[in-house]
Amino acid sequence: MMKIIPRVIILLLILFSCKKEPDHLQDALNESGVNRSELECVLQHYQNDSIKLRAAFFLLFNMKGLHTLDGNSMDVFYCVMDSLRKSTDEMNVFDRRSFYGKVLKGSSLSDLQKKYDLNQIKASDLTRRIDHAFKVWKMPWAKDLSFDDFCEYLLPHRVGTEVLENWEQDYSDYFQSLLDHVDLDSDSAMYKVCGNLSEKIKWNTYSYPVNMPNIKPSILKYQKIGTCEEFANLFVFVGRTFGIPAAIDFTPQWANHSMGHVWSVVIHNNETLYYMIGEGVPRPAHDKRFTYKLPKVYRRTYGIQSHSLAMLASNESLPLFFRNPRMKDVTEEYIPTKNLQVEDLNKVSNKGKRIYAAVFDDKNWIPVAWGNIEKKNKGTIPNIGYPAIYLPIYYIDGQCVAAQYPVRLDEQGCHSLIPEKEKLQTVVLKRKFMDNRAWEFVEMIKGGRFQVADNINFKNAKEFGIPDTVGYNYQTINVSDGNKYRYIRYIPLANTTGCIAEIEVYSKDDIQRKGKIIGTYTHTSDTIHGMEKVFDGKTLSYAICNKERNDQWIGLDLGEPVEVSKIVYLPRSDDNFIKDRELYELFFWDNKWTSLGKQMGNKQTQCLVYDNVPSNSLLLLRNLTKGKEERIFTYENGQQVWW
């Protein structure tokens, strides 16, 4: 065999002309150590098939750094995953999440080690993968792929750091039904297959602790509950099994929310189609409307990207995220973009050649895009999403350092948020976190009504409808009419889930009255949100009812007639409004978060008033008593504007 290898290298030199690939192939062979013979066996196997030889070269050259995370504790991890799979049919979603959290809590996975592919992969694994990829390249939805796209979207042998397995035949058998009754010559065949997959797997998302290992394909195929990344990985394995060109796109960090997101895509007719299992069929990426704003979108690749910052600046100190050479910027396939131009950069020593755009993750500034520092002390970061607020930063000695004041990027362009300390304004703050979910919860309660009566049948009851102007914090109904009532109830709008968090009843002496919980609220598939949640004093708990029924209500029997002065109620809540007896602190950004003072929340006003806030400031309100969700905002026209 060793005598044949030089012939293969010569053939590669002819195939790739003056390119550097043969040198990189030799580097890969040198790094493979005792496993070199396995890799050379692959090259020998395809020495008379130039196109498959090129595919083998692509895999081997780009294999550097790819690895499996493995260790003894992985056996425990996989037992947990398998137990979960076997339990899903008998457990509702709430029980499953509880189970998932408990079993994973004890999995330290502290002994995991990297096992590099170059040092362990077998020739039979690679030739099987290559042959299968070429077989499914003939599928009608893949046959027009270019060779380069074939290499990225059908050929790769792994998705992440999962244990290497013979998954091609396993997945072919397990998911064969996806092709049943599908006219493969139809233009809609690929959409039908994806739709069948969504029907086959009814999944639920769950975010368990970060840095968990990837699940191996043989267990992943059974998953019914897991992270978005797991279901994206699953689809890529399915896609590579049946010739559906698939990839994984992601945003490292939302522009206006904590964390990021991962999803799968289909590459069809040179277009990116968004697709996630359980969400129907693929659709154009630019038509997908995400809940939060995208600052950047990248695609995970198998091939090392020569234009990635990791390759362009391999000798520079880079933020961790940008040290990955296997990602491609695809932002413009999803959203309109603009260039962020920053002038008068802060003069800092050792700032390097790059400037980064960072977004806020509720606690820290996270770099998501980069650009070059130009002459005259300015920088340009190209193609980022808007509207959003970005902090231009340097990366110096392992730390993110502000390079300028935050910049609001919108339709009008770039606007620096430089605090005007000589122009103070009064701000009235009602929340510490964005309010989109809070208003969604408010919609759930509209159309409902309260009744008070002196009889259990609520005959001749006095009724109070919930107005369309209802807010997301505590709401008050003034009842005072001199009459006494023993029974109080809330009746949701028919055919809704009747979400409500709290009901409090007060007598004329302003004393909260307790009583026996009464009502018909039932929900056979949910034991967590029972009627008692409405009277537990906890703003995050709430009750729901069966929306298929129209006789649902919930209330109190006060035990005796009481002259009721008011009913105070709270819609389902995210607990981010200003709370009674909780301590808050307001900050504005002035090269760092600078305090504007502390205040205690009050249930009567449910707001905080600050008179000393510099105009044109970026603001952040923190709850020092409890809670995690905090979000940057500006104050415009008497309102908090969330970013």
Mean pLDDT value across residues 418-432: 97
Distance between CA atoms of residues 627 and 633, nearest Å: 18
pLDDT at 14: 45
Please tell me whether the overall predicted TM-score, pTM, comes out greater than 0.75 for this model: yes
Q: 395: which strand partners?
A: 400
Of the candidates 618, 623, 610, which has an alpha carbon nearest to the alpha carbon of residue 574? Answer: 623
Query: How would you write 288-353 as a 3-class SS string?
Result: CCCCCCCCCCEEECCCCCCCCHHHHCCCCCCCHHHHCCCEEECHHHCCCEEEEEECCCCCCCCCCC
Mean pLDDT value across residues 564-586: 97
Are 380 and 371 within 8 A, CB to CB? yes
Residues ≥6 apart with Cβ < 8 Å to 387? 293, 408, 409, 410, 411, 643
Within 13 A of 73's CA, how many CA atoms are on the CB side? 12
pLDDT at 24: 75
- pLDDT for 326 beyond 80: yes
Number of CB atoms found within 10 A of residue 559's CB: 11
Report the relative pairing of strands 420-429 and 413-416 from DSSP bridges.
unpaired
Mean pLDDT value across residues 35-45: 96
For the chain, what is the mean pLDDT? 91
pLDDT at 256: 96
Q: Where are the alpha helices (DSSP H) in 137-216?
A: 147-153, 167-174, 189-200
Mean pLDDT value across residues 70-81: 77
Number of CB atoms found within 10 A of residue 539's CB: 18
pLDDT at 223: 79
Distance between CA atoms of residues 133 and 618, nearest Å: 52
Q: Each residue of 133-143: pLDDT tens digit?
A: 999 999 999 99
Query: DSSP string of 28-95?
Result: HHHHTGGGHHHHHHHHHHTTT-HHHHHHHHHHHHTTTT-EEEE-THHHHHHHHHHHHHHHTTTS-HHH
Triad 46, 48, 53: Cα angle to 5°: 40
Q: Each residue of 293-311: pLDDT tens digit?
A: 999 999 999 999 999 999 9
Q: Each residue of 589-642: pLDDT tens digit?
A: 999 999 999 999 999 999 999 999 999 999 999 999 998 899 999 999 999 999
The owner of tokens 């994973």 is 104
Distance between CA atoms of residues 220 and 201, nearest Å: 12
According to DSSP, residue 235 is labeled: H
Output Rg (C-alpha) for the chain, integer angstroms. Answer: 30
- Looking at 386-492, which runs of residues are DSSP E strands? 388-396, 399-402, 407-410, 413-416, 420-429, 449-453, 462-465, 475-478, 485-491
Q: 337: which strand partners?
A: 385
pLDDT at 211: 67
Per-residue pLDDT band at 359 (split at 50, 70, 90): very high
- pLDDT for 12 beyond 60: no
Containing 267, the helix (H) or strand (E) segment is strand 261-268
Distance between CA atoms of residues 250 and 248, nearest Å: 7
- pLDDT for 283 beyond 90: yes
Total count of residues recorded for the chain: 643
| Long-range CB contacts (within 8 A, 24+) of 248-252 | 248/159, 248/299, 248/300, 249/285, 249/297, 249/298, 249/299, 249/300, 249/330, 250/297, 250/298, 250/299, 250/300, 251/294, 251/295, 251/296, 251/297, 251/298, 251/368, 252/296, 252/298, 252/321, 252/366, 252/368
- pLDDT for 421 beyond 70: yes
- pLDDT for 80 beyond 80: no
Mean pLDDT value across residues 466-484: 95
Q: Where are the alpha helices (DSSP H) in 365-507?
A: 436-445
Pair of tokens at residue 505: 């009843």
Per-residue pLDDT band at 524 (split at 50, 70, 90): low
- pLDDT for 319 beyond 90: yes
Containing 368, the helix (H) or strand (E) segment is strand 365-374
Q: Each residue of 533-567: pLDDT tens digit?
A: 999 999 999 999 988 888 999 999 999 999 999 99
pLDDT at 23: 66
Per-residue pLDDT band at 17 (split at 50, 70, 90): very low
Name the least confident of 95-99, 196-200, 385-389: 95-99
- pLDDT for 74 beyond 50: yes
- pLDDT for 165 beyond 60: yes
Per-residue pLDDT band at 101 (split at 50, 70, 90): low
- pLDDT for 11 beyond 80: no
Q: Each residue of 204-236: pLDDT tens digit?
A: 676 666 667 888 999 899 877 778 999 999 999
Q: Each residue of 452-465: pLDDT tens digit?
A: 999 999 999 999 99
Q: Kindly tell me the number of DSSP H helices and DSSP E strands found in the chain.
A: 15, 34
pLDDT at 18: 40
Q: 507: which strand partners?
A: 564
